[in-house]
Amino acid sequence: MKKFIVLILFTLSVSLSAQTLLDIDERALQAIDGERCLEHVQNLTDYTLEGRGTGAQGYCYAAKYVSERFLDAGLMPPPGTDSTHYQIFYVSRNFIDQRCAFAIEYDKDHWQYFKFYDDYLPFASSAPAHTTKPLVFAGYGIVSPDSQWNDYERIDVTDKIVIALDGTPQMDSLDFGRSGRSRNKVKHAENAGAAGFIHLCQKPIGGISTKRTIPAIALRQCILDSLFKTRDITAQSIIDSIKTLKAPVAVPLANRAQITINSHYVDSLQTMNVVGLLTGQDADLKDEYIIVGAHLDHVGKLGDVIFPGANDNASGSAVITHLAEVFTRHAERPKRSILFIAFSGEEAGLLGAEYYTDHPLLPIEKSRAMINLDMVGAGDQGFMLVGGHSYPAFAELYQGYAEKLGFMEVKRRWMSKNSDHWHFYDKGIPSLFMYCMGGPPTYHSPNDTYDTLDVETLEQVARLNYMVIHHLANCDEITFDYVENESE
């Protein structure tokens, strides 16, 4: 159990007096510049980087950029990396190529073609296909034995294209867990013998995958109403019926769908984490270190559409790159060491963080804390700390310095497996993941561009994290007890 690992590794108790806030480091804070952060974001979202997809050439350009900034700042390559600061590893990946198409037959031989991205997107895991098959509506497309729910129980989807609603049935009495996730719905359709899968959603979003599935697309849910027009029913009426009946509803459709997906799969692609070390100056503490990380990758390209990934997560990568510049050029060398990591493969399943924690470049037991920045470039509703309830004393450091600096409110959530901090937490290292709340609705879209970010937010994030990292790297000892989430 994680809580026992943490308590074994970090046995000293925390007291508020042990967390007396340090004086504001005015020289360093004055050097922190939101415009410099935005400059890094702009460079990392240049169209030549093509969205920094893991394993793609554009990601390698991004890694080179961060490596050069680490080198310019004077960060040392840790043991196990080369002069470029690269920790190399290998991944598999499915690529969605150009010339994809999707159409629905409304009357015999009358086809309506839909627009790529505006109306639909292929799943990143999709196998190549050029197929025309009958459509069948399978409710939410869920198979959940624990909830005694099977949307395929009373309908044959063999060699048909399944179309399914987003999410799970709206029933308080049932907990569908992860069965409502789109990737699981594709598996359920494939297991039921379907030739393809259509996931209805409000707006298709981009993704990246190391796996391959049956041909699958995300399609705007509003299109479903057109399929039921002759039956005088709507998508909402079906949703209401499922809720009222508390049972699956499946409907064979008179329509056919045509899916054309061009994709290719690569078993082994080289990628890399970018890792830079600032060695501490205290003889007794320099072997201990603080990890400051952010994922550098994004979802890359789907077809010919580029997903720039400015907020997600050029913003976090820009902030840690700028913090490396500030710590080396404008601050006294800290007592403890600081390890800066720009991770690859987060969007494909936290792959870079997993690889690092399984192959640490410095002794993992010497890691005293991990800070992960992800989506920190915009938002005016406060900072969220994932893991803040799990490590309250750690979160209190953020709260204390935020109040001291006059910044936005710091909010807390329980620990969650939703970004790179997770694998460090899983190794028993006190870890927090910060993101900003209230930013623009650009998640995994081509609209996540650098000009949607806010310079003031980037600067506040950088200044607050500088003070917390400065505190952790210079205090006499670091001990954070773990609090179990009893509601799980």
Under the banding of pLDDT at 50, 70 and 90, the label for residue 70 is: very high
Tens digit of pLDDT for each residue in 363-401?
A: 999 999 999 999 999 999 999 999 999 999 999 999 999
**Cα Rg, the chain, nearest whole Å:** 24
Within a 10 A sphere around the Cβ of 170, how many other Cβ atoms? Answer: 10
**Bridge partners, 435 (sequence order):** 384
Cβ 102 vs Cβ 120: under 8 Å: yes
At residue 226, the pLDDT reads 86
Tally Cβ neighbours within 10 Å of residue 68: 14
Beta bridge partners of 80: none
Mean pLDDT of the chain: 92
Give the integer Cα–Cα distance in Å for 432 and 370: 6
Q: Which residues, including other chains, have CB under 8 Å from residue 236's CB and lie 6 or more apart?
A: none
Q: Residue 479: which residues within 8 A CB-CB, separation 6 or more?
A: 10, 11, 12, 13, 14, 18
Specify the 3-state DSSP secondary structure of 437: coil
Q: Say if CB 93 and CB 209 are below 8 A apart.
A: yes
Summarised one tens digit per residue, pLDDT across range 72-121 is 999 999 988 878 899 999 999 999 999 999 999 998 889 999 999 999 99
pLDDT at 126: 97
In this prediction, residue 422 has a pLDDT band, given cuts at 50, 70 and 90, of very high
Dmax of the chain from CA atoms?
Answer: 80
Question: Which pLDDT score is estimated for 13?
Answer: 35
**What are the Cα distances from residue 5, in Å, to 10, 161, 395, 406, 429?**
8, 47, 20, 36, 9
Closest by Cα among 23, 69, 12, 9 to 296: 69
The residue written with tokens 């720009």 in the block is: 342
The whole-angstrom separation of Cα 232 and Cα 247 is 21
Range scoring the smallest mean pLDDT among 3-12, 95-104, 137-146? 3-12
User: Where are the chain's structural domains?
Assistant: 2-92+269-474, 100-261
User: For tokens 């013998």, what's the residue?
Assistant: 193
**What is the model's pLDDT at position 82?**
78
CA atoms within 13 A on the CB side of 316: 29
Distance between CA atoms of 207 and 197, rounded to whole angstroms?
16
Q: What pLDDT, on a 0 to 100 scale, did the predictor assign at position 69?
A: 98
Give the pLDDT confidence score for residue 230 in this predicted structure.
65
- pLDDT above 70 as % of the chain: 96
- Terminal-residue alpha carbon distance, the chain: 14
Helix (H), strand (E) at residue 402: helix 392-405
Tell me the pLDDT tens digit for each residue of 24-62.
788 999 999 999 999 999 999 999 999 999 999 999 999
Task: Answer yes or no: is pLDDT of 7 > 60.
Answer: no
Whether 100-261 and 2-92+269-474 are alike in CATH topology: the answer is no
**pLDDT band for position 257 (cuts 50, 70, 90):** very high
- DSSP β-ladder status, 289-295 and 367-373: parallel
For tokens 């399984």, the residue is 358
3-state secondary structure of 177: helix
> Cβ–Cβ contacts within 10 Å for residue 246, how many?
11
- Report d(CA 337, CA 473) in Å as an integer: 7
Query: What pLDDT is attached to residue 1?
Result: 40
- In angstroms, the CA 308 to CA 450 distance is 8
Query: For position 170, what pLDDT does the model report?
Result: 84
State the pLDDT at residue 415.
97
Query: Taking 50 as the threshold, does the pLDDT of residue 212 lie above it?
Result: yes
**224 vs 133: which has the higher pLDDT:** 133
128 close to 165: Cβ distance less than 8 angstroms:
no
**288 phi/psi in degrees, rounded to 5:** -85, 155
Q: How far apart are CA 239 and CA 434, in angstroms?
A: 36
Calculate the CA 223 to chain-centre distance. Answer: 28
Q: Evaluate if residue 11 carries a pLDDT over 60.
A: no
Q: What is the pLDDT of residue 107?
A: 86
Span 424-455, pLDDT tens digits: 999 999 999 999 999 999 999 999 999 999 99
Strands 289-295 and 337-343: parallel
- Amino acid 5: pLDDT: 38
- Whole-model pTM: value is 0.93
Fold of 100-261: Glucose Oxidase; domain 1 (3.50.30)
What's the Cα-to-Cα distance from 359 to each of 66, 82, 92, 274, 317, rounded to whole Å?
21, 15, 19, 14, 21
How many C-beta atoms lie closer than 10 Å to residue 134's C-beta? 16
Q: Give the pLDDT confidence score for residue 408 in this predicted structure.
A: 80
The mean per-residue pLDDT over the stretch 470-478 comes to 95
Measured over the CA atoms of residue 229, residue 234, residue 238 and residue 241, the dihedral's sign is negative
Q: Which CATH class is domain 2-92+269-474?
A: alpha beta
Q: Per-residue pLDDT for 179 more than 60? A: yes
- CB neighbour burial string for 382-397, b if at least 16 within 10 angstroms, e if fewer: ebbbbbbebbbbbbbb
Residue 173 scores a pLDDT above 80: no
The CA-CA-CA angle for residues 138, 171, 441, to 5°, reads: 80
- Indicate the pLDDT class of residue 23, thresholds 50, 70 and 90: confident
